[in-house]
Amino acid sequence: MALAKKLLHTRYRVNDIEQTVEFYKNVLGLEEVRRHKSPRGSELAFLKAVESEETVEICYFPDSGPVEVQEDLTHLAFEVDSLDAFGQHLAKLGLEYSDGPTMKETGGGFAFIDAPEGYEIELIEIAKS
pLDDT at 128: 86
Which of 4, 81, 95 is CA-nearest to residue 49? 81
CATH number of 7-63: 3.10.180.10
Residue 2 predicted with pLDDT over 80: no
Which of 56, 44, 50, 47 is CA-nearest to residue 9? 56
DSSP calls for 31-71: EEEEEEE-TTS-EEEEEE-TT-S-EEEEEE-GGG----PPT
Over residues 50-82, the pLDDT tens digits come to 999 999 999 999 888 899 998 888 899 999 999
Range list for CATH 3.10.180.10 in the chain: 7-63, 73-129
pLDDT at 71: 85
Q: CA distances (Å), 110 to each of 14, 46, 127, in order? A: 25, 25, 10
Over residues 8-44, the pLDDT tens digits come to 999 999 999 999 999 999 999 999 999 999 998 999 9
Q: Which fold has domain 73-129?
A: 2,3-Dihydroxybiphenyl 1,2-Dioxygenase; domain 1 (3.10.180)
Distance CA(76)–CA(90), nearest Å, equals: 17
Binned at pLDDT 50, 70 and 90, residue 96 comes out as very high
